[in-house]
Amino acid sequence: MELKFTQQISKVKQLADAISEAISNNEYREGEPLPSINRLSKMYNVSRDTVFKAFGELKRKGVVDSTPTKGYYVCNGINKILLLLDIYSPYKCELHQALTQNLPLNYKIDLYFHDYNEEKFNKIILDSVGRYNAYLIMNYCNDRYSEILDELDANKVMLLDFGKFEKERFAYVCQGFDSTLYDCLSDGVELFRKYKKLVFVYPDKTEHPSSCIPYFEQFCRDFRMDYEIVPVVGEEKIEAGTALLIVKHADLIDVVKTVRRKRYRLCKEVGVVVFNDEPMLEIIDNGIAAISTDFRRMGEVAAGFIRTKKKIQTYIPTTLIKRPSL
């Protein structure tokens, strides 16, 4: 990388342009380390501060990045984003699509799923250290902080969805699971009053926070409604005069089949509301009511964090989406 300084332009800009040109000429490829600040300072007889400022200019443009152990390395002008989600689902696809649609073309998103596996989660985080311009992460646990996150630059991290633990060091865009359930049920109280009993189908094995259960119970007590909490929804639970609150979408399919087999009608003999909205729910039996946050909005907020690098800390409202099933 040859360079002869001129007096018309600052040495910082000339050095930054020379490094950028060398990268364009494939002298340094994506992911490869660049010469150290000390080495460049000696090579071009400039101060360490000049080299540092040149690297800083390239870093702001997304051409290079750095880690404490690796030093500066080539990003090749592409801003790489790690998107680490819990599990695949249609509503997580909406988040991903919104994120993609709200970022320029020079942003590349690497999508991973940890499947609520702590070992897998930790490995993905460790393997990603220093490789990305930003990290969008759904923790594998709602109420426990993952210490492996300490390995990342907190300024580059945004936590998504889960987040009942202490998280003030990070940007975050989350949803509520506890009092928000009470608020959503209260919003539909006149619809629920049509039924004799509310049944909360809360599976034994689910990552949906159990902390929401006391708020369901409190709602039922406050509005004097008979209720029951069951891990599975057997046919005997689907009777006329029952409204069901369902966590798992797979259980919803079984419920709809049973309702049809018993010749009941949704919104008449049986009511149904499910957590987490998705497009399919709009067309099943003319529409299934849902308690959901806006995952598309979550993706838009995350894109804003990436573009502006501002420490956004916010919750996306959870609402009751009223449809004919209730």
| Number of CB atoms found within 10 A of residue 176's CB | 18
> What is the pLDDT confidence band of residue 311, given thresholds at 50, 70 and 90?
very high
Every domain of the chain and the residues it spans: 11-74, 79-176+295-317, 179-293
Q: Identify the CATH number of the domain defined by range 11-74.
A: 1.10.10.10
Considering the four listed CATH numbers 3.40.50.2300, 3.40.50.720, 3.30.1130.10, 3.40.50.300, the one that applies to the domain covering 79-176+295-317 is: 3.40.50.2300
3-class state of residue 182 by DSSP: helix
The alpha carbon of residue 124 and the mean position of all alpha carbons in its chain are separated, in whole angstroms, by 15
| Ranges 6-10, 150-154, 298-302, most confident | 298-302
CATH architecture, domain 179-293: 3-Layer(aba) Sandwich (3.40)
Burial 182-191 (b: 16+ CB within 10 A, else e): bbbbeebeeb
pLDDT of 237 reads: 83
Alpha-carbon gap, residue 191 to 124, rounded angstroms: 45
Q: To which H or E segment does residue 73 belong?
A: strand 71-74
Q: For residue range 1-53, list pLDDT tens digits in order.
A: 667 777 778 889 889 888 887 876 778 887 788 999 999 999 888 999 999 99
Q: Does residue 80 contact residue 132 with C-beta atoms inside 8 Å?
A: yes
Helix axes 48-60, 37-44, angle to 10 degrees: 120
Structure tokens at 189: 């109280």
Q: Does residue 45 contact residue 28 with C-beta atoms inside 8 Å?
A: no
Write down the pTM of the prediction: 0.72
Across the strands, what pairs with 273?
Answer: 245, 289
Place of tokens 């990070």: 170
pLDDT of 146 reads: 84
Sign of the CA dihedral 296, 297, 300, 305? negative
Structure tokens at 20: 């950028």
Distances (CA, A) of 231 to 80, 118, 246, 251: 41, 24, 10, 11
**Same fold: 79-176+295-317 with 179-293:** yes
